[in-house]
Structure 1
Amino acid sequence: MSLLLGAAFLMATSAIGPGFLTQTTVFTQKLAASFGFVILMSIILDIGAQMNVWRIIAVSEKRAQDIANMVLPGLGYFVALLIVLGGLAFNIGNIAGAGLGMNVMFGMTPEMGALFSAVIAIGIFLVREAGKMMDRFAQVMGFVMIILTVYVAIVSAPPVGEAVVKTFVPDQIDMLAIVTLVGGTVGGYITFAGGHRLLDAGVKGVSALPEVTKSSVSGIAIASIMRIVLFLAALGIVAQGLVLDKANPPASVFQLAAGEVGYRIFGVVMWAAAITSVIGAAYTSVSFIRTFHEKIESAHKWIIVGFIALSTLVFVLVGRPVKILVLVGSVNGLILPISLGVMLVAAYRKNIVGDYKHPLWMTIFGGIVVVAMAIMGAYTLINEIPKLMQ
């Protein structure tokens, strides 16, 4: 149970990063109570994507990159490259978020806060039982984020009845918001975080599928609880006619709801969200190259340390490289349809899954997510790259 919960929290806290907080508050300001419908649709799609990925990893007893190489030679290296580059770029943003959280909490500069946070993250991977330490840290931080945000949601007094009604009968349906939320919850490296963690912990094979399924759904549930609570907190502010600060929408939600105390709470939530995303991104990104060479496997802990150190160094020396983040973010939008598409093909390859029969409804669910995310990812690439080239 500890392992299953650890994997679920690792995935959930990997999803709940600085971008997650900003994304949720911005869409709440735009759609108000109707954002509840977007959350509901994204939860359904998230579950469809994640259950497929985790089950195939468990049944095949292989990491995603090795499965991809078996589907099409060389594809695993391509997927690994996308994951590692995307993970590195977004980790710079996560480190920046951790620095900002420290700045709000203690008044230290974001750069010093980032360095301090990086030392904590690196320390977790250097202990003997790094896996258990990572699981426990993700669980504690996950609970802290949810409890503090629940307090702010209560103080902001959102119109809960209206939110419930509009969740099922929205005033408007924003497809872009739905796809953005799906990408933010199970896109890029995130959906593989828990699946690879379970594999490393020995939870695999057809006999483990009930536990794997429970853990995969639990991960989505934890991330979704945080999404819903933050949505309600922001809705309470928006419903009062108050305007969120464009420079930092989530911070203004906490501050407008609970004053200076709320602002300090935001610092804790931002730091917890960012530091767990740093850990999840580093662990999962490196897990995508571990099987390529025995020397990488034997030194994977030190590669994780280097991954975190490099992310921190770039932020401290250069600042947040917005153009790189946008460019890799565009590419990251295509990782989910590629990786999930590979998994769906692998589910029907006997040399990968043996005699296992993949449920048809899961394949259909996964197919819907692949098509939706492929269209959205292509749209982002076409629209963002020309801007970056200007």
Structure 2
Amino acid sequence: MKNITTNRSAILGAAFLMATSAVGPGFLTQTATFTEKLGASFGFVILMSIIIDIGVQLNVWRVISISKMKAQQLANLVLPGMGYVLAALIIMGGLAFNIGNIGGAGLGVQSVFGINPVIGAIISGVIAVGIFLSKEAGSLVDKFAQMMGFVLIALIIYVVFNTNPPFGEAIARTVSPDKIDAMAIVTLVGGTVGGYITFSGAHRLIDAGITGRENLPAVSKSSIQGILAASIIRVFLFLACLGVVTAGVPMMTDNPALTPFVHGLGDVGRIIFGVVIWAASITSVIGCAYTSVSFMTNFHAGIAKHSRYFIIGFIAISTLVFATIGKPAQVLVLVGTLNGLVLPIALVVILLAAYRKNIIGDYKHPVWMAVFGWLVAIAMSVLSIITIYKYLAG
């Protein structure tokens, strides 16, 4: 009975680790910015991104689970050396974004307690490190991710009903948009299942020993739960922002995601926003550090044996860089752009691995799932290249 309970906790924990890894400071800002730009039609973008996200995660989680290998191992079997390339992209991107996540946590502490965001970032870094100092770090990560996920959902729903969004128009434009922004879809997909987030939940299940054909139904369910949890947060934040946009209130230029909280709840809203952005940021710090280090574990036995300390070091470096240098905007933009390539590269590796007997044995990957995966990989590759070209040209 204990084993079943532990497995259920790990499966739900993996879903929420993926979801809360996706919901960081950038997630909040993106949602507010696109809502102001597209209005109720942003609902269609969210719907499309949810469908694509589910297709991506089903492919990734199932193949990793059936192979019982982490992504870098798969990649090296598909093409020698590719695992090192993928690991380098994930780790570099993860470190850059974790600096931003730590910064977001610092802003959250500042909003609630009015203290310097650098001090807030250091406090948040210490809390994250404390989780991994425990010998039961895996279980603590699962429980912490679930708790913060529920906090995020509850607080954002509370804000929604204080901004009075036009629910009817939101539903109508979700299925029949006035305007469609393809790049917004790419941005949302990349922000929800791109970079390290692609593998956060799947690698957690590998570490928990929940793999193999017998666990495929639970693995598939967990992957969908993760996308739906992140999407619920996105939908309610969109509705809160839509209420503000419909009322004709402009988004704050320096912090657009704060607008619906202050508009709907006044000064109390600033405190609630602080809790929301802190919860979103600290879980992203944990998920990012955990997943980034999981890409190192197969390259040296010592890293796997002492992975907790490498995770602590990853968080400490991120916190130190933010506290001494600040958030390196140019680096974040560049790595963010390059990170757009991680999803198509990773997805192609997974799809090729799905038909290699030395990786998946006699497992038959569903044809519809593979076709969907290839369509997403091709579309994301083209759009990522266009985005990088525009960045370099501009």
Which residue of structure 1 aligns with residue 245 of structure 2?
A: 238
Task: State the one-letter code of the partner of 1:130.
Answer: A
1:170 aligns with 2:177: yes
Which residue of structure 2 aligns with residue 195 of structure 1?
A: 202
What's the TM-score once normalised by structure 2's chain length?
A: 0.97
1:295 aligns with 2:299: no
Q: Distance in 2 between matches of 1:370 and 1:358?
A: 17
Q: Deviations over 1:227-256 (max 9, x none)?
A: 000000000000011101111000112111
Task: State the one-letter code of the partner of 2:355.
Answer: Y
1:158 to 135, 159, 165: 165
Show the 5 A alignment for 1:50-129. 50-129=57-136
Q: Distance in 2 between matches of 1:64 and 1:313?
A: 29
Q: Distance in 1 between matches of 2:108 and 2:372?
A: 37
1:327, 1:385 within 8 Å by CA — same for their partners in 2?
A: no
1:285 aligns with 2:292: yes
What's the TM-score once normalised by structure 1's chain length?
A: 0.98
Task: State the one-letter code of the partner of 1:116.
Answer: I
Q: Distance in 2 between matches of 1:376 and 1:224?
A: 22
Q: Distance in 2 between matches of 1:210 and 1:298?
A: 30
Q: Distance in 2 between matches of 1:84 and 1:25?
A: 28
Which residue of structure 2 aligns with residue 367 of structure 1?
A: 374
**1:330 CA displacement:** 1.0
1:43 to 50, 69, 84: 50
1:326, 1:384 within 8 Å by CA — same for their partners in 2?
A: no
Q: Distance in 2 between matches of 1:57 and 1:323?
A: 34
**1:226 CA displacement:** 0.1
**1:384 CA displacement:** 2.0
1:98, 1:117 within 8 Å by CA — same for their partners in 2?
A: yes
Which residue of structure 2 aligns with residue 212 of structure 1?
A: 219
Q: Distance in 2 between matches of 1:312 and 1:380?
A: 30
1:49, 1:366 within 8 Å by CA — same for their partners in 2?
A: yes
**1:263 CA displacement:** 1.1
1:65, 1:288 within 8 Å by CA — same for their partners in 2?
A: yes
**1:3 CA displacement:** 1.3
1:185 aligns with 2:201: no
**1:258 CA displacement:** 1.1
Look up the SS of the partner of 1:96 in the other structure: helix
Q: Deviations over 1:257-281 (max 9, x none)?
A: 1111111100000000000000000
Which residue of structure 2 aligns with residue 133 of structure 1?
A: 140
Task: State the one-letter code of the partner of 1:41.
Answer: M
Identity %: 60
Comparing 293-302 with 179-188, greater Cα deviation is found at: 293-302
Q: Deviations over 1:203-223 (max 9, x none)?
A: 000111000000000000000
Show the 5 A alignment for 1:335-346. 335-346=342-353
Look up the SS of the partner of 2:72 in the other structure: helix
Q: Distance in 1 between matches of 2:343 and 2:157?
A: 30
Task: State the one-letter code of the partner of 2:386.
Answer: Y
2:16, 2:142 within 8 Å by CA — same for their partners in 1?
A: yes
1:262 to 244, 262, 269: 269
Q: Distance in 2 between matches of 1:371 and 1:22?
A: 27
Task: State the one-letter code of the partner of 1:192.
Answer: F
Task: State the one-letter code of the partner of 2:241.
Answer: A
2:241, 2:259 within 8 Å by CA — same for their partners in 1?
A: no
Q: Distance in 1 between matches of 2:319 and 2:391?
A: 26
- Calculate the aligned-residue CA RMSD, in Å: 0.7
- 5+ residue gaps, structure 1: none
**1:382 CA displacement:** 1.6
Look up the SS of the partner of 1:238 in the other structure: helix
**1:88 CA displacement:** 0.2
Task: State the one-letter code of the partner of 1:308.
Answer: I
Task: State the one-letter code of the partner of 1:90.
Answer: F
**1:380 CA displacement:** 2.2
Look up the SS of the partner of 2:298 in the other structure: helix
**1:21 CA displacement:** 0.2
Which residue of structure 2 aligns with residue 377 of structure 1?
A: 384
Q: Distance in 2 between matches of 1:386 and 1:314?
A: 29
**1:386 CA displacement:** 4.8
**1:160 CA displacement:** 0.1
